[in-house]
Amino acid sequence: MANRNRPLSPFMLGTLYRLQITSVMSLMHRVTGIVASVGAFGLAWWLLAVARGGEAYASASDLLASPLGMFALAAFSLALVYHLLNGIRHLLWDIGWGFELPEVYRSGYAVVVLTFVLTAAIWFVALRGGA
């Protein structure tokens, strides 16, 4: 007969399973992929407004300049940068680099830090008006 005292799943949080950076980054990669996909529809909407010109562009610009629009743009840019950097990390794993546990953690923390640094740099340049 099967042992009924064993855990049912390693994904049960609390005393049986503690979150690790690898599991959090995997979850965040999926979440940022969804945010980037939704943001791509927003980008297509903005491009259609630009193509229509006039009133459509003005209303799109007003919406994107609102606090909610700025939040959406910030989330979109943060998601794109994180997804890109973590994707590069996975490509490096595909060629066999970085499988040792210390390197996995180091590259994970590097992705998180670089995500915020690069996103802040993008917003700094964008709000400054370019070069």
Q: Is 14 left (phi over 0), alpha (psi -120 to 50) or beta?
A: left
The tens digit of pLDDT for each residue in 82-111 reads 999 999 999 999 999 988 989 999 999 999
Per-residue pLDDT band for 131 (boundaries 50, 70, 90) equals low
Q: Check whether 83 is labelled as a binding-site residue.
A: yes
Percent of the chain residues topping a pLDDT of 70: 85
Range 57-69 average pLDDT = 94
Orientation of helix 21-52 relative to helix 54-65, angle to 10°: 150
Domains in the chain with CATH codes: 21-128 (1.20.1300.10)
Cβ atoms 81, 123 nearer than 8 A: no
Per-residue pLDDT band for 18 (boundaries 50, 70, 90) equals confident
The rounded distance, in Å, linking the Cα atoms of 99 and 96 is 7
> What is this structure's pTM?
0.82
